[in-house]
Every structure is written in C-alpha cells, then in structure tokens.
Chains A and B, each alone.
Chain A
Amino acid sequence: MASILLKNVVKSFGTFVGVQDMNLDVVDEEFLVLLGPSGCGKTTTMRMIAGLEHPTEGEIRIGDALMNDIDARDRDVAMVFQGYALYPNMSIYENIRFPLRMRQVPKAKHDDLIRRAAEMVELGPFLDRKPGALSGGQRQRAALARAIVRQPQVFLMDEPLSNLDAKLRASMRVQIKHMQRELKVTTVYVTHDQIEAMTLADRIVIMNKGVIQQIGTPDDIYSNPANTFVAGFIGSPPMNLIAGTAQSGTFSSAGVRVPCPANLSGNITLGIRPEDCQIGGDNLQGQVYGVEPTGDITYLTVRTANKNIEIKAGREFRAPIDSAISVGFDTSRLYFFGEDGSRVGVN
C-alpha cells in the first residue's frame, strides 16, 4: 500500500517524445485510470512505474522511496498485461505461484495464498490446466490472480479487459473494482475505453500525445472538461463541438445562435452535450440527417451547414429524413473553448 509520485517525467525514444513532462500524484489506495487514445503514452507511463522502462528525465517515487534506479523485480509492483502474459509451460497453479517463489515467500504459505487468490477470481476448478486450455476470460482472471496473490504495494493493469467480449468486460469490470476496494491496493489502470474509465476510477487522467490533458474525478471530467480534446473524448456520443464566433454576448455559427459570456470575442468553439439539447427551441436550425432508435433513447443527428450535431431525443421521437428541425440548448450547460482549445468563459 503506497502512493505513487511522478515528477517532471519525460520519456523519449530517440527524437520521439512518448511522454512529456508528466506530473502525477496517485494517492494511497486510490484507483487511478489513465485514459487516452491509442499511442498517447499510457503503456509507457505504466511501464515506467513498473520499472520496465527508464524515464529519460524526472523522478518516480513509490511510497516515499525514489525508484529511478530500482530494478523492476525489486519494486513491489504487480502488473497485469494486455496479453495476460501467462507462462505457457506452467499450469495456472504454477503461474500464480511464480511471484511467491520469486519473492521468497515461505513455501508452507504458498498453497493457501494461491487458493485464496484463485477463489477471489473464481478460478478454483482450473488450477491444474495450462493457460492454453483456458478461455480468454479465464486467462484474464488467471493473470489477475497472479497479480493479487502476493499483496503488492501497487497494482498496474494495462488494458486488461480489451480482449474480452462486451458482456464479460462488464462483469469483469465490477469484479476488478470490488477486488480493489477489498484489497485496498493503490491501482493504476490503463484503458482507451471511457466507459471503463468512468465506472472504475476514483480519478481519471486523460492523456493525448504524451501530455496530460486533465486530471479529475469522473464527474469532474464529464461536467468540467478542460479543453476540446477532453470534451470530445468523454461521453457517448461525445460533446458536440461547433466552431463559430463570439461577439457582444452572442455566439453564432451557421444555423446556431446562443448567448455567451460578454467577455468572449473572436473565434470560439461551442460545446454542448447531446443530452443537453431538446427538440424545439431557437438555438439551432437544421435538417434531420438520421434517427436511430435504441429502445430507451433515440439518437438524432441534425445537419447544419458546417457540421452534424448529435442529440439524445426521447424514446418515442421519430422524424423523416431531411425534414427541417429546430433545437434548443440548455443554456446553463454551454461550454466555450478558445482558439487553443482550452476552456474559456468560466466564472
């Protein structure tokens, strides 16, 4: 159990900078999720914490100890890899036992610990099998069991659910969160799936191109995105971003008119979430581009001169394609972003 601290951490591969000047403070027992598109440096960050990659610059601390010169095997960190990385020649039992043997845990304790870990991920009946004889979900749980069998200071999980089907993913998500609360081990979890991030995290770190975009609780990130990248990444569908201009208290773009803070002017991007739009109103005029009923909600796409706008309409909403439609925005939930993409006009 320990906190993790990254201070001005940089990782370059030759001239390419994979992680840029990263500052991160993971609190003891926290569940922190690194979220971002593929290639944004999540895995690299995690591997640096594990000691599998050395930072080009900066400090990494676990607990209070400086880790920069500590080998991966001497950091008390357990990692779950994206491909599970089970040892193919060993049975599941031996796989789970491997970290115990390596850490010189007394032999007499092994069996007990292994069975308890296997129990926790409901893998009891499969201990004698080789990894090759397990399904994807079982392998995933075996990898989890191997990580939890010795109570490490830190769990690192790199997209552990990305190879599973949607249903299994949802049930494993709950299981992982429950397990983390029970074991109270500081956890850093990497994913590119925002639902996973929102549901699991105490705090989310959003990354793009090696740079942290925002750190905050899921609620915070959802309701106060720091920039257009975060706004456009979180939510499904994500926030609508409409480029336009602001002048004396009004934002306008082709077919769109909303009030905005009086101090904004020039090129501004308006952000509005699909659930904050309703049919009928005078903020947006356009044509129906598509209507997608899903049962509990209907997704409506409205075409304006510049852009298609996504709207979550009521479950019974239907409209013929190309019919004219007007839309109102919840003006208390408008977001404005400046030319560099960062949020402006917040009181």
Chain B
Amino acid sequence: MASVRKSGGDNLLVRYIILGSWAMVCLVPILWFLTIGFRPRTEIIVPEPIYWPTWSLDAWRLLVSDWPIALYLRNSVLAVAGSVLIDLVLAIPAAFALARYEFKGREDIGFYILSTRMMAPAIVAVPIFFLFKNIGLLDSVWALMLIYAAINLSLVTWIIRSYMLDIPKELEDAARTDGADDLTILWEIMIPACLPGIITAAVIAAIFAINEFLFTLLIASTSKAYTMSVALANFTGGSDGVIYNAIALVSFIAFAPILILVILIQKHLSRGLTMGAVKG
C-alpha cells in the first residue's frame, strides 16, 4: 500500500514521460505545419519527407506582396473585438438581473437565452442575409461585428451569470447596508468579484468569433469584409497553383491569436466550458 503514493522518484518520472508523450502527439502536427510555412516551396511536395527544413521566408514574401493579409487581420480584429465589447456591455447587466433580481419566469428566461445558442445557424442564414441586405450592410465589417455579437451573446450572458451566482449574496447585502445603489453594486462589487468569469466569457466569445465561418461567408463578398477565417478558405496561393507553404503560414497566423488567448485563460477555461455543471 505504502508504495502506491510514493512521492517523487520513478513514479513522477513515469508520469512526466506519459504526459510528455501525449503533449508531443498533440504538438508535433502543429510544429510540423509551422515548419512548412517557413520552407521553400520545392521542399514540401517531395517523395521522401525532409525532416530538417531549409529555412526560407518565400511564403511570407509572397503573402505580403500578393495578399492583403493586413486588411484581413484588421477586419478580424475589428469585428471580433467589437463583438466582444457589445456582448459584455449587454451581457453583464443581463447576467446581473438573471442572477440577482427576483422576477416571474427568471429561470425560464435564463434558459431561453441559452437555448438560442442551440439552434442550427443555417436556419437563420437566409433571413439574416436579407436583413443585412435591406439595411445596406452587406460586405461590411460592422455587420460581422453585429452578427458575432448576436451569436455569442447568449453564451456570454450564461457564463457571467453562472459566475455571479457563485458570489455570496451577503456581499451585495453588505454593500446595500453600506449605502450603495444597484449600479454601484454592479460596478464596484459584482464586476470586480467576477472578473475572471467576465474575462473567460470574453475569450470564449472571441474564439468563437474568430472561427466563425458560415455567416462571414454569407455577408462578406470582397476583401473589404473578409476575415482571416474566410480569406483562409478562399486562399489557394494564386495563379501558380496551390502554394502549401503560404497556406500553412496563413493558417498559423489565423491560429496564433486563439492559441495565445487560450494560454492566457487556461486556468479559467475548463470552468467556463463546464458552466452547465455549476449550479443553476
């Protein structure tokens, strides 16, 4: 029995080997794909894989000269950041109301909000297209911003609500007896207390928004509104046939922000993703 929980020693080594192998399995494709982005084109499609690459910035040069990547990146950042901001401004007060105020049908409204997320997006694709056509926002980053915000609003509300439910009511009662009104309580007590939840919700929303494809394809028809996700899908490398090293590089540029965001919030992410299991 005593040897089972032996601390350190071989046991720990075995664990590190297992975890390390698993990490390799997950990471090698990504690293491999990154090296492709930095190889000359001639080294990619060959009968025998070349494991040790000759480094080259060919793909990068091609991208910068032939492809408006800065514009796509700008579109992505603008639409995603704007949508997250809209979500937070709308979701925080809504979550506060759903978590704290007593009113008829509170639980039902809460669940209804979440359930809008469960709908297949294709169902509303056509109405959305005509809606934006009528208000003259086709092929516009602003339209994407609104759509991303709408897609994620329910999830963001739900995540923040679940964090707010975990904040002891006493805190709010204390603030109230200290003389605070509702807005002060929201701003000075609730928001700081559930900041990790708000950040988690924002990052999850950002990830979904960066990856959004269907509606972006529908709304964006020229590079004026193309985001990384749609541009990537349309990208083959131009008139010279499929240029894999450039594709790999673009993919990596699209993927990097998500990776960074996930690393930043990994501590909170699992909590945010299992928020259904948290009470309520």
Contacts and interface: CB of A to CB of B under 8 A. Distances in A.
B157 to A, nearest CB: 22
Contact of A88 (B173, B180, B193): B193
Given A89-B192, A89-B193, A102 B180 contact: yes
B173 to A, nearest CB: 5
A102 B179 contact: yes
20 contacts: A72-B177, A73-B180, A73-B181, A74-B179, A78-B177, A79-B173, A81-B170, A85-B170, A87-B171, A87-B174, A87-B188, A87-B189, A87-B192, A88-B192, A88-B193, A99-B178, A102-B175, A102-B178, A102-B179, A103-B179
A98 interface: yes
A81 B174 contact: yes
B178 to A, nearest CB: 4
Contacts of A82: 170
Contacts of B11: none
Interface in A67-81: 71-75, 77-79, 81
A11 B198 CA distance: 37
B15 interface: no
Grouping DSSP codes into helix (H, G, I), strand (E, B) and loop, the B interface class, with mixed when no group exceeds half, is: helix
Contacts of B195: 89
A50 interface: yes
A99 to B, nearest CB: 4
Nearest to B171: A85
B54 interface: no
A156 B170 CA distance: 14
A146 interface: yes
A102 B192 CA distance: 17
How many of chain B's residues touch chain A, expressed as a range? Answer: 10 to 19
Contacts of B177: 50-52, 72-73, 75, 77-79, 156
Interface in A176-191: none
Contacts of A72: 173, 176-177
Interface in A91-148: 98-99, 102-103, 146
Nearest to A80: B174
Contacts of A238: none
A232 interface: no
A78 to B, nearest CB: 7
Contact of B176 (A52, A87, A88, A146): A52
A304 to B, nearest CB: 47
A216 B58 CA distance: 91
B175 A87 contact: yes
Interface string B190-204: 001101000000000
Interface in B155-180: 168, 170-171, 173-180
A83 interface: yes
A11 to B, nearest CB: 15
Interface string A37-55: 0000000000100111000
A85 B172 CA distance: 8
A88 B195 CA distance: 11
Interface in B18-51: none
B189 to A, nearest CB: 6
B213 to A, nearest CB: 38
Contacts of B193: 87-89
A78 B178 CA distance: 7
B236 interface: no
A47 B177 CA distance: 10
Contacts of A85: 168, 170-171, 173-174
A204 B15 CA distance: 61
B173 A81 contact: yes
A74 B178 CA distance: 9
A89 B185 CA distance: 13
B184 interface: yes
Given A88-B193, A89-B192, A102-B184, A83 B170 contact: yes
A146 B170 contact: no
Contacts of A81: 170, 173-174
Contacts of B179: 73-74, 99, 102-103
B232 to A, nearest CB: 40
B180 A79 contact: no
A61 to B, nearest CB: 18
Nearest to A105: B179
Nearest to B167: A88
The 6 closest A-B pairs by CB, nearest first: A102-B179, A89-B192, A85-B174, A99-B178, A85-B170, A72-B176
